[in-house]
């Protein structure tokens, strides 16, 4: 069994990116589980808080989930042509203390959805130096950019577009194969 930790970088109730992650969970091939984690309870990074209290419980949970996973799926929104701060904040916390070790050599795939025409391409590019610094193994053979998301998801953020679901199925299968190869 291959386990992939899936993280969405949006806290919005009807988030396209959270919906894309739910769809990824559904289309995962047999023998592959995408387990969604949550960045919701991760506080803003504060070195004083870390020094006084150590790693917050939500961060420790995410670190454990990453340690136990064979791969990491980052479903990223794009803000101002870059990585949303809330998402980067969570990964920064996760890289602290014993957490860094879990990133090293970890296969990571990036995907994302946006209502605009470029489907998070710049946010995905923005993650690359972060993934390099964390010494992960980014999977770059597949690409999943969902543009015009407003017409691909319903009002609850559930993926409704069949072509996108098919592309997602291939993307997830390709990533999972690369992990087991």
Which 64-103 residues touch ligand FNR, going by CB under 6 A? Answer: 77-81
Half-sphere exposure of 142 (CA within 13 A, CB side): 21
- Going by C-beta distance under 8 Å and a sequence separation of 6 or more, which residues neighbour residue 146? 16, 20, 111, 112, 113, 114, 119, 120, 152, 164
Which 14-33 residues touch ligand FNR, going by CB under 6 A? Answer: 15-17
Q: What pairs with residue 111 in β-bridges?
A: 75
| Count of residues that interact with ligand FNR, criterion CB under 6 A | 14
Would you count residue 10 as binding ligand FNR (CB under 6 A)? yes
Stretch of residues binding ligand FNR (CB under 6 A), selected from 40-48, 52-60, 114-122, 162-170: 114-122
- Give the DSSP letter of residue 142: -
Nearer to ligand FNR (CB atom), residue 7 or residue 102: 7
> Which position among 56, 115, 138, 174 is part of the footprint of ligand FNR (CB under 6 A)?
115
C-beta atoms surrounding 56 within 10 Å: 17
Between CA 24 and CA 33 the distance in angstroms is 10
Smallest distance, ligand FNR to C-beta of residue 11, A: 8
Would you count residue 116 as binding ligand FNR (CB under 6 A)? yes
Smallest distance, ligand FNR to C-beta of residue 55, A: 26
Between CA 118 and CA 10 the distance in angstroms is 18
Residues near ligand FNR (CB under 6 A) are 10, 12, 15-17, 77-81, 114-116, 118
């Amino acid at each position: 069994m291959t386990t992939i930790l899936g993280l969405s970088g949006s806290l919005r109730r009807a988030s396209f990116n959270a919906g894309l992650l739910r769809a990824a969970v559904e289309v995962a091939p047999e023998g592959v589980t995408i387990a969604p984690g949550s960045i919701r309870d991760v506080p803003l990074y504060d070195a004083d808080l870390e020094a006084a209290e150590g790693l917050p419980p939500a961060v420790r949970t995410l670190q454990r989930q990453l340690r136990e996973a064979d791969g990491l799926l980052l479903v990223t929104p794009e803000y101002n042509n870059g990585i949303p701060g809330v998402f980067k904040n969570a990964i920064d916390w996760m890289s602290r203390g014993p957490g860094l070790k879990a990133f090293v050599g970890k296969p990571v795939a990036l995907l994302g959805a946006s209502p605009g025409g470029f489907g998070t391409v710049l946010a995905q590019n923005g993650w690359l130096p972060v993934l390099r610094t964390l010494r992960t193994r980014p999977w770059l053979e597949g690409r999943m950019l969902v543009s015009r998301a407003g017409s691909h998801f319903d009002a609850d953020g559930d993926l409704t577009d069949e072509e996108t679901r098919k592309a997602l199925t291939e993307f997830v299968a390709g990533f999972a194969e690369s992990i087991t190869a």
